[in-house]
Amino acid sequence: MTIRIGIAGIAGRMGRLLAEEVPAAGAVLAGGTLRSGAAPGGAAVLPDFGALCGVCDVVIDFTHAEAASRHAAAAAEVGTALILGSSGLSADDEAAVAAAARRIPVVYAANFAPAVNLFLAIAERMAAALPPAQYDAEIVEMHHRQKVDAPSGTAVALGRAVAAGRGTTLEEAGRESGRDGHCGSRGTGTIGFAALRGGQVVGEHTLIFAAGSEHISLTHRSFDRRVYATGAVRAALWAQGRAPGLYAMKDVLGM
């Protein structure tokens, strides 16, 4: 049976790319929601997210963190699988998504690009091998000037990967960001973040481990948002028919 995929925010920048990638993957574009404008390719427009879930097997949502908990609850109510790529979710938002995942399959990822998820896996292994007492971890990210959250969801995911490799959590390790003025020396074992905004950079992330005698860094650059769309559609195809649960892109990739 052909899978029916819906797109929240179908007239947006990511929505339009997703609308192209869904049929390219052999799936049916069942429709979308939008705040203004017209749906690309004459796709059906549904009045709200709940109505969209009612005509789809899977819905892809890259809209906004403020809508994440509401959309997750609506998908769970209907029984529609959810692919969630919104960044900047609060702890309460993530708890709501996890609650929905007890009823439906949810693939929630900070980034759907395959190479980024390999980056996260490598970051965890690097952190496990480089002791925090000797190696300071710093994460530098840059995005386009319109991005509203900082640090990016991918940067936070990198921080969590580093913390996991060190046998702790990002909250327990402590975050350092927004250094300005006389802010004191760097805390041992903390994880630093620096967010840059400018131009139309799609996404750049660099992880640095800095010791007194050596530095090592790993960088990922995205040049086209389409990589996120193709990854999300891949996740949608994978999620169809899965048991309820909260999945990550590494599950989709078999990592």
* Catalytic residue list: 143, 147
* Tokens found for residue 39: 């749906």
Burial letters 146-157, b for 16+ CB under 10 A, else e: ebebbbbbbbbb
Strand 136-143 to strand 105-108: parallel, antiparallel, or no bridges (unpaired)? unpaired
**Cβ–Cβ under 8 Å, residues 156 and 162:** no
Q: How far apart are CA 244 and CA 30, in angstroms?
A: 22
CA distances from 77 to 99, 101, 103, 148 (A): 11, 11, 8, 30
DSSP symbols for 114-145: HHHHHHHHHHHHHHHHS-TTT-EEEEEEEE-T
DSSP letter assigned to residue 70 = H
Tokens 């899965």, residue? 242
